[in-house]
Amino acid sequence: MSKRTLIASTMMGAFALTGSAVVSATTLSDLHKEEAKIHAAAAKSQEKINSLFEQSQDLLVEYRGVVDETENLKIYNDYLASLVADQQRGIDSLQSQIDSIEDTKQGIVPLMFQMIDSLEKFIDLDVPIRLDERKERVEKLRDLMANSNVTVSEQFRQVLDAYLIETEYGTRIASYQGTLDDSGTEVTVDFFNLGRTALLALSLDQKNAWVWNNDSRSWEKLGDEYLASVNEAVKMANNLVPPELIKLPIKAAE
């Protein structure tokens, strides 16, 4: 091999080595870039995972709270249902005596007066749902008892009807207008009652709301955070909006 050929071969070998090094460096650079992209994508994915995990934990806490509240309301509703069932058993027992009522006037008439007195005391101690209407019904029963043109069986039927109506107040959701005393000022409001569980009131301008405290026998003003939910409750009772879950100030069963 001549010197010229040897030199040319050597130069070609050097160029080949140089080209290989350039290719390797370029490949490594690309790999580093791709690896950086993978790490960045993994970091973003981890951030999303962390965010979703935190949201799931918040939802879990909220769900457990709703479950606990639902259980408390279920227990209280079961308690009310047992009272209603007990009242119904008493009414059914009395109803079975109507057929022989003429033969037992001496016992029935005093019983009716006792029932009317008990009903009046119950209304005075109960949540004041449609209070004027209920008191008026008691007065009509007293007038009925003094009316000689009304048979004893009819008197007894109307006394039983009054008890049935009282039972229904504890099982219905209703809204009606009336007035309440707010620190000496008479305010016209929309009342809303969830059976006997809660009695609420909303001013007609929807700027004030109250809840009845049966322990203190007084109306308590609610914070602004309840205005929207009380307004929705009134609308639902009047069939203006479909029923849905709302936040109401309900006293837990003891």
Dump pLDDT digits (tens) for 124-168.
999 999 999 999 999 999 999 999 899 888 999 999 999 999 999
* Main-chain phi, psi angles of 102, to 5 degrees: -65, -30
Gap between the Cα atoms of 44 and 50, Å rounded = 10
pLDDT tens column, 198-235: 999 999 999 999 999 999 999 999 999 999 999 999 99
Per-residue pLDDT at 95 = 75
What's the average model confidence in pLDDT over 227-249? 88
What's the average model confidence in pLDDT over 54-67? 80
Per-residue pLDDT at 30 = 75
Per-residue pLDDT at 182 = 87
Per-residue pLDDT at 16 = 47
Q: Enter the tokens of residue 85.
A: 């069932």
Per-residue pLDDT at 64 = 80
Per-residue pLDDT at 17 = 46
Tell me what percent of the residues of the chain surpass a pLDDT of 70: 86
Beta bridge partners of 177: 190
130 dihedral zone (left: phi>0; alpha: psi -120 to 50; beta): left
Gap between the Cα atoms of 197 and 169, Å rounded = 10
Per-residue pLDDT at 14 = 47
pLDDT tens column, 25-57: 577 777 777 778 887 877 887 888 888 888 878
Half-sphere exposure of 34 (CA within 13 A, CB side): 6
Residue 179, SS3? strand
What's the average model confidence in pLDDT over 59-80? 82
Gap between the Cα atoms of 154 and 146, Å rounded = 13
Gap between the Cα atoms of 193 and 212, Å rounded = 10
